[in-house]
Structure 1
C-alpha cells in the first residue's frame, strides 16, 4: 500500500529531503516560532502523518537543519587550510578559492544560511566553532611561513567571520555581489591592507 501523503513515485528519502527543503524555506521566511508543521507539510504536498514518520516534531527538523549548516560550513573551514610549500601567488589563489567556495555554498542555500547564521539560537556556537577552526588553520599557516610571526590569529579569525557574516547578509543574499567578488575583496583587504 502506497503512502498517501507522499507524492506519487517519491521515495522515503525524497520525501524526507523535501520536508527539510520546505522546512528551511518556512523557517527562513517566517522564523522559528511562526512556522508550523502544517505549513511545512502543505508546502511539501505531504500529510502531517508523513512528517512524523521522519521527524519527532518541529524542533527536531529545525535542529537537523542547524546541524546540516554547521557541519557543511565547518567542513569548508577545515578544507581551506593551506598546505606547506605553496608559492605566494598560488597561496593567494587557494585562499580566494576556499572563500569563494564557502560563499557559493551560502549563496546557493540562502534559507539554510539564514537559519544557521541568523535565526538559530546556536548561531553564536557555530561562529565560535568556525573562528576556532580558522584560528587553528592560521596558526598552522603562520608556522608554515605564509603569514608573519606574531600575527594575532584570533583577531584575524574573528574579523574574517565578521566580514563573511555581514557581507553574506548585506551583499550576497541580496544578490548585490557574486561570491567571487566578495572573496576577492576580502582576500585583497586582508593580504594587502588599505594603504596605497
Structure 2
C-alpha cells in the first residue's frame, strides 16, 4: 500500500474509532490511547493526524453537521403539487433524514446528542424546515394558521426522540419511522376530517 493511501486509511480508521469511543464513553472519559487501540494503531499514529482529541471531536461534529444539512437542504417544495406528491416527498425527506442518522450511529450520538454544537445543528435543521413550511403556506399547500417556527421545532423534536428510542436501538427501520412520522405530521391524529370541534 502506498504511503499516501496508508495515511488516509489510518486517518479514516482513527475517525471511526474516535466516533465509537466518544459515543460510548463521552468526550471527557475518552482517551487518545483508547482511540488508537480501537483503530489498531498507536498514539504516535494518532498525533500524526490530529493535534488533540479536541480537534478530532470538533471534526466529527462538523462532518455530522454538514451531512445533516446536505440532507435537509435536499427537501423540495414546489407550487401546484398534488396531495399524493406532497405525501411522497414528505416520506422521502423523512426517510432520508432517518437513514443518515441510522447509517452513522456513533457520530449521530456525538453530533445529535452529546456535543454542545448539537443545539446549533438542530436549530439549523429547524430553520431549513421553517423556510419550506413558509413557502408551502404561500402556495396554499400548508395550513395558514400553523406557526412555521413552532411546527419546525416539533418536527425536529419528533426526529430527535424517535432516533434515540427507536432508530439507534434498532427497534424500527428508517422507512417505517418515516411513514409513521409522515402520517402524523401530514394527516394528524383525528380519525377523520371534521371529527369533533376545535376551540380557538
Q: d(CA) in 2 for partners of 1:50 and 1:76?
A: 33
**Selected match of 1:33 from 22, 28, 31:** 28
- Name structure 2 gaps, 5 residues minimum: 192-200
**Selected match of 2:11 from 13, 16, 21:** 16
**Selected match of 2:100 from 92, 97, 105:** 105
Q: For residue 119 of structure 2, what is the aligned residue in structure 1?
A: 124
Q: Is it true that 1:43 corresponds to 2:38 in the alignment?
A: yes
Please say if residues 107 and 179 of structure 1, whose CA atoms lie closer than 8 Å, have aligned partners that are also in contact. Answer: yes
Please say if residues 36 and 42 of structure 2, whose CA atoms lie closer than 8 Å, have aligned partners that are also in contact. Answer: yes
Q: Is it true that 1:54 corresponds to 2:49 in the alignment?
A: yes
Q: d(CA) in 1 for partners of 2:110 and 2:150?
A: 25
Please say if residues 22 and 43 of structure 1, whose CA atoms lie closer than 8 Å, have aligned partners that are also in contact. Answer: yes
Q: For residue 140 of structure 2, what is the aligned residue in structure 1?
A: 145
What's the TM-score once normalised by structure 2's chain length? 0.90
Cα shift at 1:194: 0.9
Q: d(CA) in 1 for partners of 2:8 and 2:140?
A: 47
Please say if residues 70 and 126 of structure 1, whose CA atoms lie closer than 8 Å, have aligned partners that are also in contact. Answer: yes
SS of residue matched to 2:140:
coil
Aligned pairs, number: 190
Q: Is it true that 1:88 corresponds to 2:87 in the alignment?
A: no
Please say if residues 82 and 95 of structure 1, whose CA atoms lie closer than 8 Å, have aligned partners that are also in contact. Answer: no
- Name structure 1 gaps, 5 residues minimum: 4-8
The two structures, once aligned, show a CA RMSD in angstroms of: 1.5
Q: Within 5 A, what are the aligned runs for 1:132-171?
A: 132-171=127-166
Q: d(CA) in 2 for partners of 1:84 and 1:53?
A: 52
Q: d(CA) in 2 for partners of 1:83 and 1:72?
A: 23
Cα shift at 1:10: 5.3
Q: For residue 6 of structure 1, what is the aligned residue in structure 2?
A: none
Q: For residue 79 of structure 1, what is the aligned residue in structure 2?
A: 74
What's the TM-score once normalised by structure 1's chain length? 0.92
Cα shift at 1:83: 2.7
